[in-house]
Amino acid sequence: MGEIDTNRRGVAATRLLPMSSLERADVARLAALARIDMTDEDLDRLSGQLAAIVDSVAKVAEVAGQDVPATSHPIPMSNVHRADEVRPSLAQDAALSGAPEAEDGRFRVPQILGEEA
């Protein structure tokens, strides 16, 4: 399998790659991109299942030709606009009420940069 890049705009290279099954290393890399830590046991359990799912869904590429337009939204609709007016919204303390940690009216998080950075 080739390099995986989650940047969708990098899609310019519209190559139709052969549908290959997902391998364990691919699952590890995807999990890291999705910010889900995985143990070796997790990878053992999920890799096989994911490969089977990918193999079974790959058939979508068989059926629709170039002439078929894509549907992203089931019901046709146009963009919605409204007047740019100030309206009541969640108060700051309400917005922070479910936060694991807050300080000075803001969400508090652990340090952003690791030591290697």
Q: Which residues bind another protein (CB under 8 A)?
A: 2-8, 10-11, 13-17, 19, 22, 26-27, 30-38, 42, 45-46, 49-50, 52-54, 56-61, 63-64, 68-75, 77, 79-80, 82, 90, 94-95, 97-101, 107, 109-114
H or E element, residue 103: strand 102-103
10/68 Cα distance (integer angstroms): 23
Least Cβ distance, residue 9 to another protein (angstroms)? 8
Shortest CB 70 distance to another protein, Å: 4
Comparison of 74 and 105: residue with beta carbon closer to another protein: 74
Whether 2 contacts 17, CB under 8 Å = yes
The residue among 31, 27, 19 whose CA lies nearest residue 56 is 19
- Closest separation in Å from C-beta 58 to another protein: 8
User: Position of tokens 């099954």?
Assistant: 21
